[in-house]
Chains A and B, each alone.
Chain A
Amino acid sequence: MNCKKAKKVMAELYENKKPEKDFFIHIKNCDKCKKEYELILKMKKAFLIRENLKVPSDFNKKIFEKIGFENKSRDFRIFEWMFQKQFAFAKVLVLILFFALILFSVKDQKDLNNYEKITIIDNLEEKNKTQITQKKEVIENREQVIAHIERKEIEQGKVADLKDTEEKSTTTQTQIQPYFSTARNSNLAQGGLQPTEKPASLFIAKSDDKPNENKTPEIGEMKEKFIVKKNVFNPLKNEKFMLKYKVDNKEEVVVKIFNRIGEPVNTLLNEEKQPGIYECVWDGKEANGKIVGAGIYIVYLKIGAFNEKIKVVVIK
């Protein structure tokens, strides 16, 4: 064995391989290889020496303190649990339920808002209905009164024949609203209706607007100070706003239209009236004759000391 081969054998000494006899023979003869062999053996022994590395008693404690095992809160554990693979289905289910609850609560809120809107509309409709029934009652009363008057006249013999009756009825109806005329014959309907203002008196006024004092109880039949007939109307369809009001004494009557921001639009009436029931009509036009825009308008009614603001809706 030569030194080269001996080196190879020595390299295997690290792996605990036993050298052959030839190697030992070579060592005896080669001083250099012998020294090297001894060095490797010493190195191997040195590798095996263990240092006295006694682990400190608080080694684990320090690690746990740094990790924060002690401070781990319950919430944090729940949070960790959420991200574990275990019970994935259950966790997904819980999440879905949670989001469903949120969605339902939002929907309920919307339904509640809708319900509030519906109730407001219902209230408005009910109001309108009561107003309509009140008006109907008034119409019926008037018709009864007219029928009563006619019957009385016939009884008293003032009406001699049919011709006379017709004449009478035409003169009577000159003072009556078209409101009532629908229930009457065509002659009554012809009773000059004007768009602005007409007395709604039921008295048989022959020449002027002076109401008959004998008929004063008729005024009492209208319980309210005023009645609004159509507060939502479309002027383009020839619909008109009608306001019926009662004058108890000789008083100044003012009917003015204002828009929403308080600007005057039109003045329908501003004069002194004799006691009686009158009707005021607004065709949805401004003072200059132009049709107003769609929106809410305020009708200001003043009868003596009494005044009232009525909301009117113009639609197009």
Chain B
Amino acid sequence: MREIDNRIIQKAKNGDKKSFEIIINTYRQTVIEICYRYLRNREESFDMAQEIFITVFNSLKNFEFKSKFSTWLYRICVNACINRYNKLKIEKYYEMDSLSKDNEDDKKEIDLKDPRQNQDEEMELVNLKENIFKCMHDFTTIEKSVVILRDFQGFEYKEISDILNLPIGSVKSKLFRAREKLKNRLKRILGEKNEL
């Protein structure tokens, strides 16, 4: 993870525009990616990232250099994304009249394409990734966050524990369960596809 010099952060804290721009340029890509992994919408993730940086700017006066700046920023990011995700989930629930969690609905929602049409390995992986996200749609926020931060973003366990404010052991156990869940779902999906 890239870290910014504390002097730059202090300047940004004092309202220096250039220093804050450096912060944005350093972290914006990661923030946008995290937002995209939660929201799965390009435009929304950009808007979300902008809102996150505005929140960061307004909350900078509360940052006391007790933790890593990146950890502090990602915590804001993850919390904002979780809130947004939950909100969207509720909205979607009311729009669709139901957002079921049972396996049958899972099967209906996942759009499966014939593997014979995607011979290319890369395309297959892209499809797999999409399937992964679809399988994750009813994960708990912690499970989803753990998978996104560890497997997609490659964060260290310590950092994830700081961001999510969870003990490292809990992070590991939750990640294990989430991976198993994901694997089983994917296995089932792929098995069904093969049967087709």
Do A and B pair up? The answer is yes
By a beta-carbon cutoff of 8 Å, the part of chain A in contact with chain B is: 11, 14, 35-36, 39-40, 42-47, 49-51, 53, 55-56, 59-60, 62-64, 66-67, 69, 72, 77, 80, 84
> Does residue B46 face the partner (Cβ distance < 8 Å to A)?
yes
- Interchain nearest-CB distance for B107 vs A (Å): 18
A20 to B176 CA separation, bound complex (whole angstroms) = 21
7 pairs of residues in contact across A and B, judged by CB atoms under 8 Å: A36-B187, A39-B183, A49-B122, A51-B36, A53-B33, A56-B46, A59-B28
* B contact residues around A39 at 8 Å (CB): 183, 186-187, 190
- Interchain nearest-CB distance for A107 vs B (Å): 39
A62 to B49 CA separation, bound complex (whole angstroms) = 11
> Does residue B182 face the partner (Cβ distance < 8 Å to A)?
yes
* From B29, B32, B128, contact of A46 by CB (8 A): B128
The majority secondary structure among interface residues of chain A is helix
By a beta-carbon cutoff of 8 Å, the part of chain B in contact with chain A is: 14-15, 17, 21, 24-25, 28-29, 32-33, 36, 42, 45-46, 49-50, 53-54, 57-58, 122, 124-126, 128-129, 132, 151-152, 176, 179-180, 182-183, 186-187, 190
A69 to B42 CA separation, bound complex (whole angstroms) = 26
Tell whether, in the assembled complex, residue A40 and residue B25 are in contact, meaning their CB atoms are under 8 Å apart.
no
Seed contacts A11-B176, A46-B128; 4 additional CB < 8 Å A-B pairs: A36-B187, A42-B124, A43-B128, A43-B151
The majority secondary structure among interface residues of chain B is helix
Tell whether, in the assembled complex, residue B14 and residue A66 are in contact, meaning their CB atoms are under 8 Å apart.
no
* A contact residues around B124 at 8 Å (CB): 42
Instruction: Report if A60-B125 is in contact (Cβ < 8 Å); known contacts: A36-B183, A43-B182, A53-B33.
Output: no
Select from chain A the residue with minimum beta-carbon distance to B124. Answer: A42
- Interchain nearest-CB distance for B14 vs A (Å): 7
- Interchain nearest-CB distance for A50 vs B (Å): 8
A80 to B129 CA separation, bound complex (whole angstroms) = 48
Tell whether, in the assembled complex, residue A63 and residue B179 are in contact, meaning their CB atoms are under 8 Å apart.
no
Select from chain A the residue with minimum beta-carbon distance to B49. Answer: A59
* A contact residues around B50 at 8 Å (CB): 59, 62-63, 66
- Interchain nearest-CB distance for B154 vs A (Å): 9
Tell whether, in the assembled complex, residue A49 and residue B54 are in contact, meaning their CB atoms are under 8 Å apart.
no
* From A35, A49, A56, A62, contact of B129 by CB (8 A): A49
* From B28, B42, B53, B186, contact of A43 by CB (8 A): B186
Q: Which 7 A-B pairs have the closest CB atoms?
A: A46-B129, A46-B128, A47-B151, A46-B125, A63-B53, A69-B17, A63-B50
Tell whether, in the assembled complex, residue A42 and residue B128 are in contact, meaning their CB atoms are under 8 Å apart.
yes
Tell whether, in the assembled complex, residue B125 and residue A49 are in contact, meaning their CB atoms are under 8 Å apart.
yes
Tell whether, in the assembled complex, residue B21 and residue A60 are in contact, meaning their CB atoms are under 8 Å apart.
yes
* B contact residues around A80 at 8 Å (CB): 15
* A contact residues around B186 at 8 Å (CB): 39, 43
Tell whether, in the assembled complex, residue B125 and residue A72 are in contact, meaning their CB atoms are under 8 Å apart.
no
Tell whether, in the assembled complex, residue A64 and residue B17 are in contact, meaning their CB atoms are under 8 Å apart.
yes
Tell whether, in the assembled complex, residue B132 and residue A43 are in contact, meaning their CB atoms are under 8 Å apart.
yes
* From B36, B122, B176, contact of A53 by CB (8 A): B36
* B contact residues around A63 at 8 Å (CB): 24, 50, 53-54, 57
Tell whether, in the assembled complex, residue B32 and residue A11 are in contact, meaning their CB atoms are under 8 Å apart.
no
Tell whether, in the assembled complex, residue A84 and residue B126 are in contact, meaning their CB atoms are under 8 Å apart.
no
* B contact residues around A84 at 8 Å (CB): 14
A272 to B49 CA separation, bound complex (whole angstroms) = 108
* A contact residues around B46 at 8 Å (CB): 55-56, 59
Instruction: Report if A49-B126 is in contact (Cβ < 8 Å); known contacts: A40-B183, A43-B132, A56-B46.
Output: yes
Select from chain B the residue with minimum beta-carbon distance to A7. Answer: B180
Residue of A35, A46, A50, A59 with most partner-chain B CB within 10 A: A46
A60 to B32 CA separation, bound complex (whole angstroms) = 13
Instruction: Report if A51-B33 is in contact (Cβ < 8 Å); known contacts: A43-B183, A62-B50.
Output: yes
Tell whether, in the assembled complex, residue A53 and residue B45 are in contact, meaning their CB atoms are under 8 Å apart.
yes
